[in-house]
Amino acid sequence: MNTQDKMGDLSSLSRRDFLALSTGAAVLLATSSPFVNLIGSALAAGGHVLPALPYPENALEPYISARTIGFHYGKHHKGYIDNLNKLISNTEFADLSLEKIISATAGKPEKATIFNNAAQSWNHAFYWQCLKPNGGGEPSAAFKKQIEASFGTLEACKKELTTAAMTQFGSGWAWLVRDGQKLKVIKTANADTPLEKGMKPLLVIDVWEHAYYLDYQNRRVDYVSAVLDKIINWDFAEKNL
pLDDT of residue 23: 28
Per residue in 57-88, pLDDT (tens digit) is 999 999 999 999 999 999 999 999 999 999 99
The pLDDT mean for the chain works out to: 85
pLDDT given at position 222 = 98
**Rounded CA separation 159/163 (Å):** 6
The reported pLDDT for the residue numbered 238 is: 97
Give the pLDDT of residue 41: 29
pLDDT for residue 12 is more than 60: no
Q: pLDDT tier at 218 (50, 70, 90 boundaries)? A: very high
Contacts 24+ apart (CB under 8 A), 90-95: 94/14, 94/46, 94/47, 95/14, 95/15, 95/16, 95/17
Q: Which tens digits make up the pLDDT trace of 163-194?
A: 999 999 999 999 999 999 999 999 999 999 99
Binding-site annotation: residue ranges: 72, 124, 206, 210
Domains along the chain? 1-129 (1.10.287.990), 141-240 (3.55.40.20)
In this prediction, residue 131 carries a pLDDT of 98
Q: Give CA–CA dist 178/176, Å, rounded.
A: 7
Q: What residues form the annotated binding site for Mn(2+)?
A: 72, 124, 206, 210
Range from 40-49, 81-90, 188-197 carrying the lowest mean pLDDT = 40-49
The answer to whether residue 161 scores a pLDDT higher than 80 is yes
What pTM was estimated for this model as a whole? 0.82
Span of 20-24, 30-34, 50-54, 156-160 with lowest mean pLDDT: 20-24
Instruction: Categorize the per-residue pLDDT at 4 as very low, low, confident or very high, splitting at 50, 70 and 90.
Output: very low
- 10-14, 82-86, 208-212, range with the lowest pLDDT: 10-14
Residue 8 has pLDDT above 90, yes or no: no
What is the torsion angle, in degrees rounded to the nearest 10, for the CA atoms of residue 108, residue 113, residue 114 and residue 118? 110
Nearest CA to 171 among 211, 111, 126?
Answer: 211
The answer on pLDDT for 35 being more than 70 is no
**pLDDT tens digit sequence for 97-133:** 999 999 999 999 999 999 999 999 999 999 999 999 9
pLDDT category at 31 given cuts 50, 70, 90 is: very low
